[in-house]
Structure 1
Amino acid sequence: MTKDLCHIHKFQERDIDLLLAEELRINEKFAAWFISRVASGSLVVGPAFRTRVSVLEDGTEADVVACFHRADGGIHRVFVEDKISAPLMPEQLQRYQRRASAEHLRGESNSFSVVLFAPAAYGAVLPDGVVRLTFEEAATALEQSNDDDRTTYKAGFLRRALPLTSPASRDAHAADVEPFVADWWEAVYVMLGREFPGFFLPPKTRYPRGVYFAPRTNGMADYLRVDFKGHLGEVDLAVKNVNYPDLASALSGLHLPGSIIENGKSTAIRIGGLEKFVIADGIAVINTKVRAAYAAAAELLTFWKENRNRFDSLAR
């Protein structure tokens, strides 16, 4: 069983840049594996004699540029674009290729490789000549390069950098790294089942990391959104793309459960003045402050259901 030594959970592409630059420069076995993948059959030998990050030239920033010696005395340059989840910019990898070709024509290198380094699930169509390496296979190569805590940590670092792409994976992650958050929400769902049975739909993400989210009820129209802001003591029933005068006119003569407010491109009915809370307040607030906020959300949604014809006319 692989030891779990890395407990970092938030990653930027720059973090991957620095890790890769270090390993290509210092870790001889990993560098040899890397070169075997990106310059197969070449005369390139490792580790890199120079690595740099965020190298800008001709308006193109290369995340990592690694320079290797060749057995014939020349230089092989590797240009790496790292991605975690952000999409590639238009022709981003083609610009890498043009830059690498220009340096080759100027005699600054004798050969080159352009590499996309990203998770296996990262979707991208690569230009001809661009090599793809994944975080997962690099993590395995790191583990095989040395049997020590340092390389185990670096392999775990790469695996933890994989983006959480589904509600289920985000929930599993929350339950693993912040079990008190999962326990808090489970207690909330017990309260909801007792106090509001069947009223609120199960959320896509079961364990949100905060108390600002959008609960839903059965049959809820797409033009509607509930902004549940426990940390502010507010719950809004927002009607998308409807202005204040139109909503006020449509609901004229009704006893409103809250105040009409402008909310960006939407207008909302707000119940405010509730007691504020956050998850860190603990289980004790669930049957008091949290219940009151959900009661406000239920009141707003019930008001919408009872007057749906008026709301639907606005949406049309």
Structure 2
Amino acid sequence: MEQLNTYLNVMERDVDLLILEELLVSESFTNWFVSEATRRPSPIRIIGAWHSVSNAQLGESDLIVKFEEETGLSEAILIENKIDAAAQTEQGHRYKMRGEKGITQGEWAKFTTCLFAPQSYIDRNSEPYDVELSYEQVVTFFQAQADVRSQYRATFLQEAIEKNRRGYQSVVCPRMTDFATAYLDFVARNHPELNPEVAKPRAAGHDWIHFYPIPNQRNIVIVHQIRGQRIKVIYHGQLNKYDEIADKFADIVDLPLAVKPSGKSVTVSTEAPFIDLANSTFEQVKGQIRLALNSALAIKNYLIR
């Protein structure tokens, strides 16, 4: 028995419930967690914490913690917990939409969206969240405590970090893989200037098609979000250049564009045609693909002008 691992397999739900318990029973942990997430060190009074809060239209928040600061205003942190699973399409945006809906419904006056994950996952994340909090930071917090319980918590999360390092094996969807491969081959043949990504096996929800039109600048990407019906430029990690980016597109009148901050990044987007991925092959929707690519090509020209 002594040679066996204590945990057979740490799942995201296991981590959810561990953090939920700490938020509900440990005042020191809750104040530390809220301070790290909000970047404000003031003490708080917790109102409650909840696991797996769902909205029929906007999806699910893994954890929500609601609290009051000394001002008396209620705030919330909406937490997406990831060990190694791939992000869902526009997951970070839906967290923001759920936060905004909470304001309109009077649930809280302010909110913060938070990605909670191992640091290696955070380093490759492209979804927009207000803040990112790593498992490693929480491990350090627990290790600094003197009690055996906290040391157990640290060991538990360290096992989740090790699982992340071993990697996630997604379930390949042949239909989505074939569609994306046909799409990327078409672009490579007809519009190589868009510099499409290399085709790889895909899971069912992996419907973003990426283009890298500026050589040696992988932090500026054009994305066709098929189900989201958007052609979008993402300036990764360039929120400090928001005004400059907005000015760059301000005088464009022949293509309706929306420039928005998105976490630490900036996005510039326009609408794309509806494509029924569930019931169509690439050849059946090639006309819609051409229209979407026309928008991508126009945006590409604005990028390099």
**TM norm structure 2:** 0.49
- Which of 1 and 2 has greater Rg? 1
**TM norm structure 1:** 0.47
